[in-house]
Amino acid sequence: MVYLTRIERFNAAHKLWVTEWSDEKNVEIFGKCSNKNWHGHNYKLYVTVKGKPHPLTGFIIDAKKLGKIIRDTVTDKLDHSNLNLDVDFIPQHLQPTTENLVILIWQQLEPHILAEGAQLHYLKLVETETIYAEYYGEA
């Protein structure tokens, strides 16, 4: 069993804001992340699939094909978007935190990886130089 990782990137705006809360509570909990006029990040997404290398090609999955799947199903939709407003697979009631994004991205990617005969193993989403979230599809 070998693991192959492909990295893609996207740049997006977002804010953290719970509509049920007062302005004061939002500022108290989310600090500068609650700026009503948005802020943004350069995100870096790691997608790891696992499997056995094919005896002839030596591939678990063609890394170029994996890159295209990631861009078509996830990063082209997220790139230069507003994560709170523009993305069909991010529900309005969920905060676009790195933790929530990594689960939502998994749900988008997994069927397309399986359709290629590979198995999605791991996602890492890096939001800043000092913060990232990881997910293994665990309930």
CA 75 vs. chain centroid, Å, equals 8
Site residues (vs a copy of itself, CB under 8 A): 1-9, 11-14, 16, 18, 20, 29-33, 35, 37-42, 48, 53, 56-60, 62-64, 67, 79-82, 85-86, 94-100, 102-103, 128-136, 138-139
Nearer to a copy of itself, 50 or 112 (CB): 50
Whether 80 is a known active-site residue: answer yes
Query: Which residues 6+ apart lie within 8 Å of 139 measured at CB?
Result: none
Whether 93 is a known active-site residue: answer no
Whether 138 is a known active-site residue: answer no
Active-site residue, from 28, 39, 54, 80? 80
Q: Which residue has the tokens 């997404």?
A: 45
SS (H, E, C) 49-88: EEECCCCCCCCCCCHHHHHHHHHHHHHHHHCCEECCCCCC
Residue 105 beta carbon to a copy of itself: minimum distance, rounded to whole angstroms: 12
In whole angstroms, give the CA distance from residue 14 to residue 125: 15
Residue 111 beta carbon to a copy of itself: minimum distance, rounded to whole angstroms: 20
